[in-house]
Amino acid sequence: MNITMIGAGYVGLVSGACFADFGHIVTCVDTDEGKIARLVRGEMPIFEPGLDELVAANVREKRLAFTTALEASVPGADAVFIAVGTPSRRGDGFADLSFVYAGAQKIAACLEGFTVVINKSTVPVGAGDEVERIIRELRPDADFAVVSNPEFLREGAAIEDFKRPDRVVIGTDDPRARDVMSEIYRPLNLNQPPLLFTSRRTSELTKYAANAFLATKITFINEVADLCEKVGADVQDVARGIGLDKRIGGKFLHVGPGYGGSCFPKDTLALIKIGQDHSSPLRIVETVVAVNDARKRAMARKVIAACGGAVRGKKIGLLGLAFKPNTDDMRDAPSLAIVASLAGDGADVHAYDPESMAQARSLMPEVTFAENAYDCAAGADALVIVTEWDVFRALDLERIKGSMRAPVVVDLRNVYRPADMRKRGFAYVSVGRE
């Protein structure tokens, strides 16, 4: 199949590279000339494990190319994916669809022969109808079908998620489009993921419902963790105890400083807005968003409490800034709220993250950036594990303790064991455990 991918961001680049690896011929198009120039040189605009090798291999095999010239790529394509950003619109939380609709307009002008136009961007219910209307209005003669095919990949595990998905959701009522989509995903047959064919609107809502449900699961266990701390229970065991029930499932029950990232915060807000607009409010999701926002600030208070109630003039070292490991993404990272609170209370905040410091520098001007975890801990009055990068899982704790001013560790990801840490002489605070 000949595929054009509009948008060489996270979803577009990973999907484009993976489709090419399946054997399709893929052209990734982006309006950002600098980004395309970097990609042509083999430089990745994002940090995603394995992506550079996958891109290089498929460029070498001439199955993957990058261009700004949409008009050269769309006419020969069997399928054109729209994978552009849908950020939260300032003010009302509604997904900003201007990039999606601009893409639809440009595609319309270039369509030749039967073409399937697929929305991979996360869009509110009914956006596919609008894409269809835009193209139909500009090109009444064009032969096309608009399909919804949301992406469920996680940053840091995006290639694996793309190649071994739990399911592929495809929203279309058009039999020809269904055949094209089946052919595009045929290489997945070996792994036998269900291809779920449904209506376009159902597919659009499924993406939001999935992300809102996962955000709810995380927020639920985080609140249970708070209760565990009050009643002397262990949230790790509670999570395991409920997660072994197949109806609940063990995933996304890991406690932490609250969810962040490019999807959950944006998609929960957008779903709330859709519900309000249709007089069908999603009160559970509204509460999840409020609880998660409050939690990020509460984590700073946890650090302050561990420091004896005040951090003014104290050196606090943060290990990890990205919203989760294996990404350099700082979007809605809990570290942003934690740093703002600690610095606001007069702390001297130092931080180290293996990948996100370049991004973090401009977002956190008050922070001093360290060379590594040990540099970050040296002379600190408290060390806070904010993101559970592998390099923080087996630190030389003797060395850390010896270099700190006070051996206080606040572990917001429950990486270490309380009994071990106490035995080693740390004042150790974690989440939802004694």
Catalytic residue among 18, 110, 228, 263: 263
Task: For the beta carbon of residue 317, count every other beta carbon within 10 angstroms.
Answer: 27
Tell me whether residue 332 or residue 348 sits nearer to ligand UDX (CB atom).
332
Determine, following the binding rule CB under 6 A, whether residue 200 of this chain makes contact with ligand UDX.
no
Query: Which of 155, 204, 355, 381 touches ligand UDX by CB under 6 A?
Result: 155
Q: How far is the CB of 328 from ligand UDX (least distance, A)?
A: 12
Query: Both tokens of residue 282?
Result: 């999603």
Determine, following the binding rule CB under 6 A, whether residue 374 of this chain makes contact with ligand UDX.
no
- Amino acid, single-letter form, for residue 419: A
| Cα(209)–Cα(285) distance, integer angstroms | 10
Tell me whether residue 32 or residue 160 sits nearer to ligand UDX (CB atom).
160
Element spanning 27, H or E? strand 25-29
Q: How far is the CB of 333 from ligand UDX (least distance, A)?
A: 7
| Residues 251-280, mask of contacts with ligand UDX (x by CB under 6 A) | -xxx-x--xxxxxx----------------
Determine, following the binding rule CB under 6 A, whether residue 389 of this chain makes contact with ligand UDX.
no
Ranges within 298-357 binding ligand UDX (CB under 6 A): 323-324
Instruction: Give yes or no for a contact between 349 and 319, defined as CB atoms under 8 angstroms apart.
Output: no
Active-site residue, 263 included: yes
Query: Which of 38, 154, 163, 417 touches ligand UDX by CB under 6 A?
Result: 154
Categorise residue 114: left if φ over 0, alpha if ψ from -120 to 50, beta otherwise: beta
Stretch that binds ligand UDX, among 112-120, 178-186, 248-256, 393-401 (CB under 6 A): 248-256
Task: For the beta carbon of residue 284, count every other beta carbon within 10 angstroms.
Answer: 12
Instruction: Give yes or no for a contact between 205 and 196, defined as CB atoms under 8 angstroms apart.
Output: no
Q: Is 376 helix (H, G, I), strand (E, B) or coil?
A: helix
Query: Which of 152, 185, 220, 374 touches ligand UDX by CB under 6 A?
Result: 152
Tell me whether residue 111 or residue 239 sits nearer to ligand UDX (CB atom).
239
Ranges within 201-230 binding ligand UDX (CB under 6 A): 211, 214, 218
Q: Is 132 exposed, middle or buried (0-12, 13-18, 19+ CB in 10 A)?
A: middle
Count of residues that interact with ligand UDX, criterion CB under 6 A: 20
Tell me whether residue 30 or residue 329 sits nearer to ligand UDX (CB atom).
329
Q: How far is the CB of 389 from ligand UDX (least distance, A)?
A: 11
Backbone angles phi, psi at 31, to 5 degrees: -80, -15
Categorise residue 192: left if φ over 0, alpha if ψ from -120 to 50, beta otherwise: left
Q: Are strands 25-29 and 168-171 parallel, antiparallel or unpaired?
A: unpaired
Q: Is 297 exposed, middle or buried (0-12, 13-18, 19+ CB in 10 A)?
A: middle
Determine, following the binding rule CB under 6 A, whether residue 51 of this chain makes contact with ligand UDX.
no
Q: Is 429 helix (H, G, I), strand (E, B) or coil?
A: strand
Binding-site ranges for ligand UDX (CB under 6 A):
151-155, 211, 214, 218, 252-254, 256, 259-264, 323-324
User: What residues are labeled active site?
Assistant: 263
